[in-house]
């Protein structure tokens, strides 16, 4: 077993980031936690949703699965777009698309129309949330 001794003058990993970097990391973590809580709420109300729309529970779980996969697609796509044109435009598109789809899904009277609108809004839920990132100052971040 190899043991490494601390090198004099080496800063521990938790002291490397600045205060602003820690604040940005904590804000991102809290946002991720809130997003995970939001999705967990949907898991807790799957049965009432199935009963309200008079559909089998398997249809509701299929919609949640599709929505979760589309969130991944949206995160990758928004990150790719943000790297090319800056973070401001993808963020604004994401907020607008998410708002429109959520409004339309609240007006849905059938499960199929609600599921289509929820799935359509899923890609916008993981857009580039932070317009600038103090964590990696060596990489330029375009704001728009």
- The answer, as to whether pTM is greater than 0.75, is no
The whole-number pLDDT of residue 118 equals 64
User: How far apart, in Å, do the first and last CA atoms of the chain sit?
Assistant: 51
- Please check the confidence at residue 9 and state whether its pLDDT lies above 50: yes
Quick one: residue 110, left, alpha or beta (phi over 0 = left, psi -120 to 50 = alpha)? Answer: beta
pLDDT of residue 131: 44
* Residues shown for the chain: 144
In the DSSP assignment, the letter for residue 17 is: S
pLDDT classification of 130: cutoffs 50, 70, 90: very low
Rounded to the nearest integer, the mean pLDDT of the chain is 74
Helix (H, G, I), strand (E, B) or coil at 48: helix
Question: What does the pLDDT average to over 3-15?
Answer: 71
Burial class (CB in 10 A: 0-12, 13-18, 19+), 109: exposed
Number of H helices, E strands in the chain: 5, 0
């Amino acid at each position: 077993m190899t043991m490494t001794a601390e090198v004099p003058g080496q800063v521990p990993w938790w002291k490397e980031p600045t205060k602003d970097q820690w604040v940005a990391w904590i804000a991102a973590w809290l946002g991720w936690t809130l997003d995970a809580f939001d999705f967990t709420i949907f898991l807790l109300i799957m049965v009432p949703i199935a009963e309200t729309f008079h559909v089998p529970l398997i249809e509701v779980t299929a919609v949640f699965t599709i929505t979760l996969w589309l969130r991944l697609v949206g995160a990758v796509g928004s990150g790719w777009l943000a790297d090319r044109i800056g973070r401001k435009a993808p963020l604004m598109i994401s907020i607008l698309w998410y708002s429109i789809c959520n409004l339309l899904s609240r007006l849905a009277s059938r499960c199929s129309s609600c599921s289509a609108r929820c799935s359509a809004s899923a890609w916008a839920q993981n857009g580039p949330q932070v317009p600038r990132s103090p964590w990696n100052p060596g990489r330029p971040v375009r704001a728009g």
